[in-house]
Amino acid sequence: MILTRRSLVVGMGGLAVAGCDKINGSPAVQRVLGLGERATYSAQRLIADRAALAPEFAASQMSPIFRTNGNTMPGSDEFAAHVASNFADWQLKVDGLVARPLSVSLAQLRAAPHRTQITRHDCVEGWSAIGQWTGTPLRLLLQQAGLSSNARYIVFHCADDFDGTPYYESIDLVDAMHPQTILAWGMNGQPLAVPHGAPIRVRIERQLGYKQAKYVMRVEAVDSLARIGEGKGGYWEDVANYQWYAGI
Ligand SMILES: Nc1nc2c(c(=O)[nH]1)N[C@H]1C(S)=C(S)[C@@H](COP(=O)(O)O)O[C@H]1N2
Ligand SMILES: [Mo]
């Protein structure tokens, strides 16, 4: 599958996103959210429109240093080979509940329509940084792949792990289709560096730092999170009970 600017543009606007209320109230979402989270999630819905944009900042407000956190280099030989060849043979997979699974090279992603945004990253460990991100809207890739009507969540499978447990994250379709949700290959005007998640990391600007998966190798559309990892929707959700919905 060749991902061209034209084919992405042609696909734009063709996909209707189910209303937030419908997703929020669906049994699948209610099951994923713990009892405590359920109240927070509903309250959030009352005060915030989830289609609203996260604040964007001026270049003058960018942090002089954007620190790294978590893994800064996946440990596999395969990843080391990708770094050595500058990700020339790397391919992002988009699969699962889609009509047309995609395999997309970094060059194809860079040639596709993209968006640049300066946003604030908030880590639950108590630090924030404002940085500039450039990448392909996830929405465009999902439209090109033809999301199935039974898809409910998008899972990001990463190249790194903690003691053999792979890092992964997931979001619902409201966040997946959000205009600021991008697969970023650029940061602060440079190609995304390995410590920050090269070749691509996701930016979901209305959510906390641990949702911003680095080293994304595969984007999978699923109808349930139950069979992924320990079933709570993400690495930190599984091992440390972090909330799956980390909207801020
Ligand atoms: N694959 C992967 N993604 C990840 C992590 C990680 O360890 N592995 N850490 C998360 C956390 S807790 C934060 S705060 C951010 C840190 O991103 P940065 O290293 O670019 O600052 O990445 C998130 N995404
Ligand atoms: Mo974090």
Q: Is 68 close to ligand 1, i.e. is its CB under 6 Å away?
A: yes
| Mean of all residue pLDDT scores within the chain | 88
pLDDT band at 11 (very low <50, low <70, confident <90, very high): very low
Residue recorded with tokens 């209707």: 16
Between 12-21, 156-165, 187-196, 205-214, the lowest mean confidence (pLDDT) is in 12-21
Q: Is 90 close to ligand 1, i.e. is its CB under 6 Å away?
A: no
Query: What ranges do the domains of the chain cover?
Result: 5-240
Average pLDDT over residues 151-156: 98
The pLDDT score that the predictor gives to residue 248 is 81
Q: Which CATH number applies to 5-240? A: 3.90.420.10
Q: Does the pLDDT of residue 111 top 60, yes or no?
A: yes
Using the mean position of ligand 1's atoms as its centre, give its distance from the Cα of residue 9 in Å.
Answer: 31
Atom number in ligand 1 closest to CA 121: 14
Would you call 144 exposed, middle or buried from its count of C-beta atoms within 10 A (0-12, 13-18, 19+)?
Answer: buried
pTM of the model: 0.85
Ligand nearest to the CA of 236: 1
Q: Does the pLDDT of residue 22 top 90, yes or no?
A: no
Using the mean position of ligand 2's atoms as its centre, give its distance from the Cα of residue 182 in Å.
Answer: 18
Q: Is 71 close to ligand 1, i.e. is its CB under 6 Å away?
A: yes
Integer Cα distance of 1 and 104 in angstroms = 8
Q: Is 123 close to ligand 1, i.e. is its CB under 6 Å away?
A: yes
Integer Cα distance of 166 and 158 in angstroms = 7
Using the mean position of ligand 1's atoms as its centre, give its distance from the Cα of residue 189 in Å.
Answer: 19
Using the mean position of ligand 1's atoms as its centre, give its distance from the Cα of residue 69 in Å.
Answer: 5
25-28 long-range contacts, CB within 8 A, separation 24+? 26/152, 28/152, 28/153, 28/223, 28/224
